[in-house]
Structures are given as structure tokens and as C-alpha cells.
């Protein structure tokens, strides 16, 4: 048994001890696995995004990684309702991916970070998936990853502002 294996087991054990809710521990472990998966990836496409969503929601949601082709999504605190038309959602999703490749790494990371949750292409985990994609793009380009842990309230308000007004200036202020 190597050091990495011992460290992994210790991390899992400590995570389980720290969080009383196994769902919280599972979420953190899934983030680690998604990060490890993305670390090997140099491109962003629909398959990779779907795989990241599947990893993020592993053992947390029955429709992990499955593209949402029906059903309304209600976003707490917002009157914005993403499209429930599966064909339209898929078209917007593909446009998002193509357009993201037109940007430099910093702006590509921001674009995916803001647009993926706006589209809500998956049944759950869209914001988590977008944050992982954002940070992977930044890390691959030797830019420090971002965390909004200390100002989570501002992050949520900015995201809701984007949903309601389709104006990303509040998110941009927080991001840049």
C-alpha cells in the first residue's frame, strides 16, 4: 500500500468524520474525482462536460450526467425558468461550447462558468460542474483557481442577477 493510497483512505475517513451527512462527504469525494479526471483533459466538449457532471453527482442523483431533455427547472430565489425544450437546450449547449473556444483561457473559463448554470442542461449539479470546468481551465493555464467560499452570498446574488437580467456584469465584478 503506497503513500497515496494511505493518504486517500485518510482523507476519506477524515471527511466522513468531519461531515455528519454522508451526502456532504460524497459531494467532496466526487469533487476530488472530477478534479482528477479533468486534470488529464485539455479540451472542453459535450462528452467531457457530461462526464464531469456524472462524476460530480455519482451516488447523489439518479440522473447524473444525463442531459435534461424535458421538465422545468425551478431556481430558488429566481423567476428565471430555463428552457424545457430538449432540442433547443441541446442547440444552445452546443453553441455555448463552440463560442467558448473563441475566448482566451480566462474568458473561456468565465464564459462556461456563467453560461452552463444559466442553461441548466443537467438535472442537477450544473453550478458545481461549471466551477470545476472553470478552475480546470485556469489551472491548465497557470492561473490560480477561484473559490467563492468566503463570499458565497455575493456569488449567489450575482448568479441570480445574471439569470434575471441576462447581465453578467455582477459576476464579472466578482470574477475579475
Sorted by where each starts, the structural domains of the chain and their CATH numbers stand as: 3-175 (1.10.3290.10)
Per the model's pLDDT, the better-predicted residue between 22 and 79 turns out to be: 79
Q: Give the confidence band of 135 by pLDDT, cuts at 50, 70, 90.
A: very high
Instruction: Give CA–CA dist 155/107, Å, rounded.
Output: 17
- Residue 43 CA to its chain's centroid (Å): 15
Q: Residue 148: its pLDDT value, please? A: 74
Average the pLDDT over each of 26-35, 117-126, 130-139, 148-157 and give the range with the smallest value: 148-157
| SS3 annotation, 22-81 | HHHHHHHHHHHHHHHHHHCCCCCCHHHHHHHHHHHCCCCCCCCCCECCCCCCCCCCCCCC
- Using alpha carbons only, give the angle 39, 44, 48 rounded to the nearest 5 degrees: 75
| Mean pLDDT to the nearest integer, 42-55 | 95
Angle between helices 86-100 and 105-119 (to 10 degrees): 170
DSSP 114: H
Distance CA 169, CA 68 (A): 28
pLDDT tens digits, 81-109? 999 999 999 999 999 999 999 999 999 99
Mean pLDDT of 18-28: 71
1 has a pLDDT exceeding 50:
no
Name the band, by pLDDT with cuts 50, 70 and 90, for residue 152.
confident
| Residue 85 confidence (pLDDT) | 93
pLDDT at 5: 52
Predicted confidence at residue 36, as pLDDT, reads 94
Amino acid at each position: 500500500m503506497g503513500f497515496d493510497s494511505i493518504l486517500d483512505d485518510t482523507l476519506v475517513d477524515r471527511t466522513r468524520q468531519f461531515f455528519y451527512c454522508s451526502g456532504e462527504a460524497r459531494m467532496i469525494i466526487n469533487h476530488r474525482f472530477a478534479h482528477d479526471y479533468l486534470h488529464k483533459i485539455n479540451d472542453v466538449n459535450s462528452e467531457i462536460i457530461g462526464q464531469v457532471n456524472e462524476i460530480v453527482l455519482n451516488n447523489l442523483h439518479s440522473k447524473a450526467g444525463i442531459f435534461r431533455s424535458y421538465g422545468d427547472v425551478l431556481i430558488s430565489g429566481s423567476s428565471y425558468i430555463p428552457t424545457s425544450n430538449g432540442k433547443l437546450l441541446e442547440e444552445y449547449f452546443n453553441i455555448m461550447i463552440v463560442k467558448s473556444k473563441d475566448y482566451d483561457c480566462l474568458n473561456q473559463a468565465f464564459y462556461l462558468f456563467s453560461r452552463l448554470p444559466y442553461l441548466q442542461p443537467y438535472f442537477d449539479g450544473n453550478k458545481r460542474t461549471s466551477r470545476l470546468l472553470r478552475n480546470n481551465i485556469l489551472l491548465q493555464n497557470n492561473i490560480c483557481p477561484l473559490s467563492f467560499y468566503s463570499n458565497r452570498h455575493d456569488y449567489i446574488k450575482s448568479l441570480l442577477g445574471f439569470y434575471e437580467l441576462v447581465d453578467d456584469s455582477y459576476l464579472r465584478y466578482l470574477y475579475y
